[in-house]
Amino acid sequence: MPGSIETVAIFGVGLIGGSFALALRKAGFEGRIVGVSSPATIDRAVEWKIIDAGAAEAEAASTADLIYLAEPIHRILERLSNLNRSVRPEALITDVGSTKSTIVERASREIDRCQFLGGHPLAGKERRGIEAADADLFAGRKYVLTPRSSADTSTPMAACFIDWIGKIGAIPVLADPEEHDRAVAYTSHLPQLASTALAALLPEKGRTIDISGPALLDMTRLALSPFETWHDIFTTNKPAIQQALSNYIRTLQAFSVMLDSQRMREQFERAAAAAKRLRPDD
């Protein structure tokens, strides 16, 4: 029997937190949504009818059925150390941090008065902040959940939360936290570093800017990302990222050796096959 979510407390009413509030409303959520954010953000979020009201941490935590932590990872970790004393036993705490092992481990040490279920919606935008909040941000996107055991997704409140994930158009995907972190090291963190390294090499070459085409634009788009988000990711997923970097470097070294041989054909074919698998609809 699914539980019922009457009050949601969103910690961090930015792109993700604000979009989750808008998406809930669009999907028919009729309960109360409170926000924990800076006064300026709360003012805008209330004015724009994204949330019903602002609240202090303890007040929000003590009244919410769903506590949605949508701040940067280091703030999520701080919240987890504070929330336990205030939460209601029926509540569910979830988060949107893009690394999971550190957060899930912290939650399992700090949260014992209610349930915690880690999450990572694979949704984003180049722009951030509440101004970019969008009721359709999650539509058609995967929403990873990282239960510690299968029981974690079948409690009444977790079942209800997962139900809402489906109603906002997202696709719930279950993963072990460590498995998640190893995967995103390859699919998100390594691509970011590969793009940043490529762009970081450019200023050293005098003419490169003059002779470049659309390929370089594709490959340096991620390099525009602000460092703030990434520092938390690098801090909380260091071994997996270093492992991915090491494999990537080894692959590039092999490419350099076989560069003008036909053995490169096999690498291109394997890479093209993997790239095609990522685009099942093309």
User: For residue 124, what are the contacts with CB-CB under 8 A and spacing of at least 6?
Assistant: 15
From the CB of 98, what's the least distance to a copy of itself, in Å?
10
**What does the per-residue mask of binding to a copy of itself show for 184-203, with x meaning CB under 8 A?**
x-xxx-xxxxxxxxxxxxxx
Q: Which residues in the 4-23 window bind a copy of itself by CB under 8 A?
A: none
By three-state DSSP, how is residue 128 classified? coil
From the CB of 63, what's the least distance to a copy of itself, in Å?
33
Contact by Cβ (8 Å): 16, 75: no
Q: Please pick, from the candidates 32, 142, 148, 167, the single residue that binds a copy of itself as defined by CB under 8 A.
A: 142
Is 213 a residue that touches a copy of itself (CB under 8 A)? yes
Q: Please pick, from the candidates 26, 43, 205, 281, the single residue that binds a copy of itself as defined by CB under 8 A.
A: 205
Is 81 a residue that touches a copy of itself (CB under 8 A)? no
In whole angstroms, give the CA distance from residue 47 to residue 252: 52
Residue 154 token pair: 């079948």
Is 166 a residue that touches a copy of itself (CB under 8 A)? no
From the CB of 44, what's the least distance to a copy of itself, in Å?
26
In whole angstroms, give the CA distance from residue 60 to residue 70: 14
Amino acid at 44: R
How far does the chain reach from its first CA to its final CA, in angstroms? 40
Q: Which residues in the 249-268 window bind a copy of itself by CB under 8 A?
A: 249, 251-253, 255-256, 259-260, 262, 264-265, 267-268
**What does the per-residue mask of binding to a copy of itself show for 215-234, with x meaning CB under 8 A?**
xxxxxxxxxxxxx--xx--x
From the CB of 97, what's the least distance to a copy of itself, in Å?
14
H helices of the chain, in order, are 15-26, 39-47, 57-63, 73-83, 101-110, 156-167, 177-184, 190-201, 214-220, 227-236, 238-258, 263-277
Q: Name which of 34 and 73 has its Cβ closer to a copy of itself.
A: 73
Q: Considering only 19-27, 40-48, 160-168, 271-279, which stretch makes contact with a copy of itself by CB under 8 A?
A: 271-279
Residue with tokens 């007040």: 59
Contact by Cβ (8 Å): 6, 161: no
- Provide the 8-state DSSP code for 279: -
In whole angstroms, give the CA distance from residue 241 to residue 150: 27
From the CB of 99, what's the least distance to a copy of itself, in Å?
12
Q: Please pick, from the candidates 155, 172, 241, 281, the single residue that binds a copy of itself as defined by CB under 8 A.
A: 241
Is 132 a residue that touches a copy of itself (CB under 8 A)? no
